[in-house]
Amino acid sequence: MIRTADGESGERKPVLVHDPTLRDGHHAVRHNLGPDQLRRYAAAADAAGIPVVEVGHGNGLGASSLQAGQARLDDDEMLSVVREALPNSRMGVFMIPGWGTVQDLKKAIAHGVDVVRIGTHCTEGDLAERHLGFLRDAGVEAHGVLLMSHMASPQRLAEECARLVEYGASGVGILDSSGHFLPADVAERIGAICHTVGVPVMFHGHNNLGMAVANSVAAVEAGAGIVDACARGFGAGAGNTQLEVLVPVLERMGFATGIDLYGLLDAADIAGRELMPAPPTIDSVGVVSGLSGVFSGFKNRVLDISRREGIDPRDVFFELGERQAVAGQEDLIVDVALALREEAHSGRPAGESRPSDQV
Amino acid sequence: MIRTADGESGERKPVLVHDPTLRDGHHAVRHNLGPDQLRRYAAAADAAGIPVVEVGHGNGLGASSLQAGQARLDDDEMLSVVREALPNSRMGVFMIPGWGTVQDLKKAIAHGVDVVRIGTHCTEGDLAERHLGFLRDAGVEAHGVLLMSHMASPQRLAEECARLVEYGASGVGILDSSGHFLPADVAERIGAICHTVGVPVMFHGHNNLGMAVANSVAAVEAGAGIVDACARGFGAGAGNTQLEVLVPVLERMGFATGIDLYGLLDAADIAGRELMPAPPTIDSVGVVSGLSGVFSGFKNRVLDISRREGIDPRDVFFELGERQAVAGQEDLIVDVALALREEAHSGRPAGESRPSDQV
């Protein structure tokens, strides 16, 4: 028997759930997962029937470095451990051109990767052209995905996705990297993309505004065929869409994921016990990061600099949002902090910069 | 400047945010908050402009007892501490007839309570008649609210609410006590109630299915004028709607709460640091509780009995849901556990009772 919201059975639209717990979750633990952790979670995910398990450094293939954080295991180790633990599930990897290269893709192919995602900033899909072309020629399933997608209009995202398909992507999609979207925002963007391309469309949410599950549902209702979610929401800051919550919600709404509920809960329990010190929660910085549309990876540096300069880190986030800061532009934090300190010293009433009515 | 989702300003529909952090949150810490904790949070909530701050034992006035848990402070102490800390915000209390009596209401009135909520099971609004009548005659604002509201149809909830208004309630509403609803469920129920009564309608969510914020937004969009939310989601199990997330989301969607964002985040930071060992997260029991529609307060007893009987606690939850168990019927847990053990011993394949396709 299938329990749906209204007790009906019938034709259930399939949704492919893609699980980046062992990749995006890495951000929350400084890329420090060891072989037993990878093996045990991957085996549990496989047993639950999760279709795709993604693994790697948080920033993807080739990203382990002083700048992005040194991973405990190198790509070869991660890929071989997880490949072996997945007799049924497909193995996915993620790569951002610049961090990773064609050499890294060849390595992943040698390890038997099934799905490769190439990620670029939402307005820079052209950076994925060479890698998507290489993967198409190599006969490997390749998807193109757009980061920080709240920074482009629905129309622009659709155009970028169409370009990714031309380059060879057999799937495209958007990441809500700073957790800024509300469900209507997601529906509009996914709808525009589905209207434009003829390949499966994916959505990847973050929970800064408590909307990760609702946004993912909105994506599926707007036509997305692939949604990302992580066990216990494992991920940086406020975390990702919570996998073991999303799956039964989709099933109850009449979609078919093919995932076993109890196996899924077992995998999530393993993740909760063995992968993370504590599951992500939405703290005040997470809320401000989501509202301002600034990647939560800026958090520690914003807090440090704000303390040093005696200014409110929330003001820094909102100003970074105004200036459209993206990852890699951490230098902007100092500029913003100095500007805010100037303003404060110029005698303006202290409360005036507080966006009390700017929520 | 007001930042809305689309940058527009204009007429903003007011929404009253009601904050039961110091009442519902009490469930998560065995009713153990002390005077300094109450005072500091209430003062911060008042400073942020939160309209109503509710305080008390988790089960409301008069509920401190061996059965429901002994509160650290008695009702008099809680009410006097919080009253003093609220120069601007209104003070609310909650009472379930049976736990509390008219004597408790008189006590609350003597302490200067502004809003009293009388809660009953969703199909037993008539139990509130005497108390709502007493409060009306005493000239105190009184609302009638329905617990475990997923167990009644939208039509039935609307009828119960109409009855509560006849009894004297100047506000009515529903609690999603087991966190079972999805947004469309909430919209349908709140819509039916708003269509039937002429007083403000409230919604109180729990986050078992990751939908507390989305459900509260759906309630407001369907006509609710009052929504409940707790700082950091402080509450039993998977927690309540997270206050400092809901408020800016409502503001961004074009509703007016009158609450100061930074003050709100400050209050939430105090709550996170001083009221709770850790913010609520959605664990596997929380998911199953939400799916099965069983109050998460059953958790510890279900886990204990399941361990003793060697059965899967998730099966117990789903069976309790089938049997429509409500709080106070904890004896049912034993019946269910024995029945499940019988089934297991009767030679049925072990996996058969697992609702792998029943999500």
Q: What tens digit of pLDDT does each residue of A155-189 get?
A: 999 999 999 999 999 999 999 999 999 999 999 99
What pLDDT, in 10s, does the model give residues B85-103?
Answer: 999 999 999 999 999 999 9
Q: Is the pLDDT of residue A118 over 80?
A: yes
pLDDT digits (tens, 9 = 90+) for A233-248: 999 899 999 999 999 9
Tell whether A296 is covered by a domain.
Answer: yes
Q: How many domains does chain B have?
A: 2
- Please enumerate in sequence order all residues whose Cβ is within 8 A of that of B335, keeping only pairs 6 or more positions apart, or say none: none
Listed residues B274, B292, B317: the one ending a domain: B274
Residue from A133, A81, A80 nearest A107 by CA: A80
Q: What is the DSSP letter of A225?
A: S
Asked whether residue B6 is assigned to any structural domain, the reply reads no
Does one domain contain both B242 and B327?
no
pLDDT by residue, tens only, chain B of 359 residues? 334 444 455 689 999 999 999 999 999 999 999 999 999 999 999 999 999 999 999 999 999 999 899 999 999 999 999 999 999 999 999 999 999 999 999 999 999 999 999 999 999 999 999 999 999 999 999 999 999 999 999 999 999 999 999 999 999 999 999 999 999 999 999 999 999 999 999 999 999 999 999 999 999 999 999 999 999 999 989 999 999 999 999 999 999 999 999 999 999 999 999 999 999 999 999 999 999 999 878 888 999 999 999 999 999 999 999 999 887 788 899 999 999 999 887 765 433 444 433 33
**Is A107 in the same domain as A251?**
yes
Pick the last residue of a domain from A239, A274, A309.
A274
Comparing CA positions, the residue from A287, A181, A247 lying closest to residue B242 is A287
Check residue A354 and give its pLDDT: 44
Q: Inter-chain contact A210–B213, Cβ cutoff 8 Å?
A: yes
Residue B350's pLDDT is what?
39
**Domain span at residue A294?**
284-353
* Beta-carbon separation of A281 and B279 below 8 A: yes
Both structure tokens of A71: 């991973």
CA B43 to centroid of chain Cα atoms: 22
CA B57 vs CA A155, A281, A337, B54, B147: distances in Å:
52, 25, 44, 10, 16
Q: Which residues 113-142 in chain B show a CB within 8 A of chain A?
A: none
Q: Does A3 touch chain B (CB under 8 A)?
A: yes
**Which residue, A41, A32, A33, is CA-closest to A271?**
A41
Give the integer Cα–Cα distance in Å for A101 and A139: 17
Question: Using CA atoms, how far apart are residues A144 and B311, in angstroms rounded to an integer?
Answer: 45
My answer on whether B76 and B132 are in the same domain is: yes
Same domain, A333 and A218: no
Whether residues A325 and A257 share a domain: the answer is: no
> Token pair 């459209």 is at which residue?
A324
Closest CB from B5, B247, B291 relative to A248:
B291
Same domain, yes or no, for B263 and B294? no
In this prediction, residue B347 carries a pLDDT of 60
Tokens of A336: 């913003």
- Asked if residue A260 belongs to a domain, the reply is yes
Nearest-CB residue to B211 (from A213, A280, A282): A213
pLDDT above 80 (res A359): no
Cβ-based burial of B77 (10 A; exposed 0-12, middle 13-18, buried ≥19): middle
Q: Which residue has the tokens 């024995």?
A: B338
- Flag whether residue B359 sits within 8 Å of chain A, measured between CB atoms: yes
Same domain, A210 and A176: yes
Residue B108 lies in a domain: yes
B186 and B63 share a domain?
yes
For residues B227 and B302, membership in a common domain is answered with no
What CATH number corresponds to the domain at position B344?
1.10.8.60
Instruction: Please indicate, yes or no, if residue B200 is contained in any of the structural domains.
Output: yes
Percent of chain A at pLDDT exceeding 70: 94
Say whether both B291 and B268 belong to one domain. Answer: no
**Residues B140 and B265 grouped into a single domain:** yes
Predicted pLDDT at A174: 98
CATH of the domain at A234: 3.20.20.70
- Between strands B141-147 and B52-55, the pairing is unpaired
Q: Give CA–CA dist B264/B262, Å, rounded.
A: 5
Residue B359 lies in a domain: no
Q: A227 φ, ψ to 5°?
A: -130, 140
Interface of B with A in 279-298 (CB under 8 A): 279-284, 287-288, 291
Q: Which of B260, B343, B336 is nearest to B301 (CA)?
A: B336
Residue B164 included in any domain: yes
pLDDT given for residue B297 in this prediction = 80
Residue A230 in any domain: the answer is yes
Q: Which of B224, B243, B274 is the last residue of a domain?
A: B274
pLDDT digits (tens, 9 = 90+) for A48-74: 999 999 999 999 999 999 989 999 999
pLDDT band at A147 (very low <50, low <70, confident <90, very high): very high
- Which token pair is B181? 């609803």
DSSP at A351: G
CB contact under 8 A, A261 and B356: yes
Which amino acid belongs to residue A300? N
Is A27 annotated in the active site? Answer: yes
Interface check A251 vs B, CB under 8 A: yes
| Partners of residue B260 in chain A, C-beta under 8 Å | 354, 356
Give residue A325's pLDDT: 87
pLDDT in tens, B199-258: 999 999 999 999 999 999 999 999 999 999 999 999 989 999 999 999 999 999 999 999
Contacts of A66 (CB under 8 A, 6+ apart): none
> What pLDDT sits at residue A343?
87
CA distance B204 to B163: 20
Interface residue of A261, A269, A322 to substitute, partner B, most B CBs within 10 Å: A261
Same domain, A248 and A312: no
A-contacting residues of B 298-337, CB under 8 Å? 312, 314
